Amino acid sequence: MAHASPPNPSVVRRALLWWFAWPSNPYVTVNFAVEFSGALAYLERLGEPRVSIGALVAATIGRVLHEYPEANARIVGNRIVTQEHVGIAMPVNLLGHAGGERREIGMALVERVETLSLRGVAAASRATVRAERSGVPQNLFLKQLLGIVDGTPQRVVDATLATLDRAMDRSALADRIYARFPITTALSNAGAAIAKTPGMVFRGADIAIPLRLVHIGTFWGVTALQDEVVAVDGAPAVRPMLPVLFLFDHRLVDGVLGSRIAARFGAILRDPAVEFGADGERRLA
């Protein structure tokens, strides 16, 4: 559900809305790594059913964006529209599964992430991934959109999507579509292909997010854990580190707020029990 845009956006926000308008790319990329030994121990203590690292990251994103709603917003036309809930889209590999007959990749969507417990996010993620891999996408809007593209001549696809893209600048249509496709952020596994390659460590990536159809305020990417030498109490030590890619739309988020979001994200992952409870069942009050 959308909240009304601020009645009097600051002069800085108004200028940034113009400065970073298409075809400019407004996204700022930040690369960092989070020490993950505490999170690994926490996930091990949770036991069965297992909670994946991806589910923990998704749940953490939900809590962080709930705390910083300025980043959980859309830009529709020249307006900033904050969103009531956090919806996370995650790519799903379909190769080797029934759903991969016509598509090599799908999209799992978890809605209202911030309202779920960690175990709730894990269960919702597993259900959406199973549906995608079985060839039955759960999101009706995405299913209909893929149905239009499948088997349609490319020139017709191009014209249809371009028309829809232009129409998304009108708030009334955008609100209806976003109600059916309520994503506000995305989580990917950028760099996973080179993870744990002997003699290599992942150092980051830069993704140019297209300003078309669906706008998201933030984009997150993680790759597999990798051992790195870090300072612990002033001395070098080897620790499992989670490389993170964090993009934010500069029209919504400035550098100070972006730094606070990244720091809060890392703080939750270093000690997840504080946020999600010893059993992974804690919800927001």
Task: Flag whether 111 is in a domain.
Answer: yes
Q: How far apart are CA 283 and CA 59, in angstroms?
A: 11
Q: How far apart are CA 73 and CA 65, in angstroms?
A: 10
Report which of 112, 114, 56, 129 is spatially closest to residue 280, judged by C-alpha positions: 56
Q: Which residues contact 39 (CB under 8 A, 6 or more apart)?
A: 53, 56, 242, 269, 270, 272
Q: Is the pLDDT of residue 104 over 90?
A: no
Query: pLDDT tens, 185-231?
Result: 999 986 565 666 778 888 888 888 888 888 999 999 998 899 999 99
Q: What is the pLDDT of residue 192?
A: 63
Provide the β-strand partners of residue 221: 188, 245
Range of weakest confidence among 43-52, 55-64, 180-189, 193-202: 193-202
State how many domains the chain has: 1
- What secondary structure, in 3-state letters, does the chain show? CECCCCCCCCHHHHHHHHHCCCCCCCEEEEEEEEECHHHHHHHHHHCCCCCCHHHHHHHHHHHHHHHCHHHCEEEECCEEEEECCCCEEEEEECCCCHHHHCCCEEEEEECCHHHCCHHHHHHHHHHHHHHHHCCCCCCHHHHHHHHHHCCCCHHHHHHHHHHHHHHCCCHHHHHHHHHHCCCCEEEECCCHHHCCCCCCCCCCCCCCCCCCCCCCCEEEEECCCEEEEEEECCEEEEEEEEEEEEEEECCCCCHHHHHHHHHHHHHHHHCHHHHHCCCCCCCCC
Report which of 39, 65, 62 is spatially closest to residue 52, judged by C-alpha positions: 39
Report which of 266, 92, 280 is spatially closest to residue 189, judged by C-alpha positions: 92
Residues in the chain: 285
Task: Flag whether 238 is in a domain.
Answer: no
* Residue numbers of the domain that contains 104: 13-18+27-221+251-272
Lookup: tokens for 243: 């490389």
Task: Flag whether 2 is in a domain.
Answer: no
Q: What is the pLDDT of residue 1?
A: 45
CATH of residue 157? 3.30.559.10
Q: What is the mean pLDDT of the segment spanning 153-165?
A: 86
- Rounded (5°) CA angle 280-283-285: 150
Q: What is the mean pLDDT of the segment spanning 8-35?
A: 87
What are the distances in angstroms from CA 159 to CA 155, 156, 194?
A: 6, 5, 37
Task: Flag whether 52 is in a domain.
Answer: yes
Q: Is the pLDDT of residue 131 over 50?
A: yes
Q: How far apart are CA 117 and CA 103, in angstroms?
A: 31
Provide the β-strand partners of residue 93: 105
Q: Is the pLDDT of residue 148 over 50?
A: yes
First-residue to last-residue Cα distance in the chain: 20
**Which band of pLDDT confidence, cut at 50, 70 and 90, is reported for residue 4?**
very low
Q: How far apart are CA 141 and CA 133, in angstroms?
A: 18
Task: Flag whether 284 is in a domain.
Answer: no
